[in-house]
Amino acid sequence: MLGRALRGLLAVMAVTVVLCTVPEAQARPIAPSCQATAALPAASARTGSPEPHWFCDGRIADFRAPRVLLRFDLPRSGPHPAFFTTRAGSFGRIEISVVDRGGTVRSARYTMDEAELIGSGLNFVLPLPEVTDRSDHIVVAMDDGWAAPLVSDARLVASVDEVRWPYETMLALAAICGLLCMPLLFDLAFYRILKAPFLLWHLTSVLGMLALTLVSSGLVLHLADLTLTQVSFLLPLTSCIGVGAAAIFAADLFEKGCLPERTRRLLRYFAGVTVVTSLAQMSRIPALREHGSDIFYLAFLPLIALFCVALAQAIVRGSRAARYQLVACMPLWAVSLQRILTNVGFGDVPQDQIFAFSAAVAFQLVVTSLGAADRFMILKHERDRARAQSLAMEQMAERDPLTGLLNRRAIEARFAELQRQGFDTMALIDLDHFKRVNDRHGHQVGDHVLRVCAQVLRADGDRHAIALRLGGEEFMLLLRGLRARERAEHLRRAITQRVAAEVEGLEAPVTASMGVIEMPREGLEGTTFADLYARADMLLYEAKEAGRNRTMHERLTLFGSGGPRTTRGTAAA
């Protein structure tokens, strides 16, 4: 079943990847011609001062510099650009200067709060100062940037529509988010049945990754009106929730004995490390600006390495759950390593990175859900088997092994509840001269007599009568409903008939004496099983003294400090 589900998932993911392919935009955005870095305020974007060292060979400027300068040479034909755009991220200030061929400069300065986020892809746009036919180039000065994509994705566009991702792409990302909702339902349903902690950690991981996909794709902007500052806060927060919870989920998921306890502890420890580095990234402490992004991304590397070690250890020890984790994590590891390395400066950040990452996240979470479901079924089977064994042991402890009837222990603990259910008649039955049967015919015949007696007292499965064996040749009946005493008397008499019919070789009939108490529905709240048993035993003793093979009964009408008021009677064979 899980194999078919995995094949279906692969088909869905293949369709999603096809949909996520980014088509070529009709209008080509303008990329920077040259880039430079400078210290504040050494360079002036307004004058194009020669102080910065420009490089125009396609290299990406280091975002860690206090100021990054981007020069955009304007084409001589085509529509004029109207907006500066780049990937969402934190920065201190952006100054945009349009330089005309005559030397005229028009400038505009923006803070993060003035940036307009685009809901189709998580980019932001800033309006350019007026661009005319005489404009030669545009210089963008970005101060105190916090992320590499701020520089690598910087472009000029003529329309906001050029920034928006295609409808098909956004639809595919929305489908991925819908796919991520499935594990949430599974986890909630499974947790109601099996209170396993790994289900809650998987639920938390799915929520974190779902939120990360919504935020990083810009879909969240269709649900809430967020600022660039808020989005820059949410990106590391959702990442640490998703990854940290996934690490703890793995630590709890693997079977006992399949993962060393030290590795489990290390997984939880490094999950905590990612939380700390994410908090540092969210805090935007100025002292951390140059290296905060590197620390944030590089902190995931030891966790990935440790996870690989944990999977190897678990698979070698025969873990089923680890195999699911291996299949689930391979695409995500590949995409994550690329994302980490490019964000710390090793190569350019791919434009379609979010598509690959979102698809890998969806694949990982859904496959791990299948692994969690498989683990759930195993644990549920083990729990059900343990419960069945416990129930069997409990039943063995509460039943007489010879006759299969309940014993005193089974009833005494539930006696008050049985009274509330209407069992108001107690009959104590003892076989007369049973010792003679054992002495003359042997214990095997005696055991046969006891089993026949038990079959009689079961009353053909009457749900208004409960039969017990108290020990030796002593039995008890608890009855409710109409004519309870008469029904008990009928069963007492039937013992003699059934034993005579089913047990061969007896020299004399086996009779039974009985003491019966009929209890009132009210007035016995403080009376215990032992109290009523003692009174029934007294009546049984009287029946024995009166000649055996008879019943002594008593109806209790009041049980107060002065003792019960009773109505007594006798029935003989």
Whole-number Å distance between alpha carbons of 90 and 435: 95
Give the per-residue SS3 of 469-491: EEECCEEEEEECCCCHHHHHHHH
Contacts of 223-227 with C-beta under 8 Å, sequence gap 24+, read 226/117, 227/112, 227/113, 227/117
CA neighbor of 410 nearest in space, from 420, 397, 401:
397
The distance from CA 98 to its chain's CA centroid, rounded to whole angstroms, is 55
Sheet holding 105-110, edge to edge: 34-38, 67-73, 135-143, 93-100, 105-110
Note the helical H segments in 218-299: 228-253, 261-283, 289-298
- Rounded to whole angstroms, the Cα distance separating 375 from 191 reads 12
Burial (CB < 10 A; 0-12, 13-18, 19+), residue 115, is buried
Q: Which residues contact 187 (CB under 8 A, 6 or more apart)?
A: 199, 200, 202, 203, 206, 369, 372
Among the options 473, 489, 518, 554, which is catalytic?
A: 473
H-helix or E-strand spanning residue 552: strand 550-560
Which helix (DSSP H) or strand (DSSP E) does residue 68 occupy? strand 67-73
Please report the DSSP string for 426-486 in residue order: EEEEEETTHHHHHHHH-HHHHHHHHHHHHHHHTGGG-TTEEEEEEETTEEEEEE-STTHHH
Measured between alpha carbons, how far is 307 from 399 in angstroms, rounded to an integer?
Answer: 51
Cβ-in-10-Å burial (0-12, 13-18, 19+) of 57 comes to exposed
Q: By C-alpha distance, which of 236, 233, 234 is closest to 276?
A: 236
Rounded-to-integer distance, Cα 326 and Cα 312, Å: 9
Active site residue 24: no
Instruction: Specify the amino acid at residue 44.
Output: S
135-143/67-73 β-pairing: antiparallel
Q: Which residues are catalytic?
A: 473
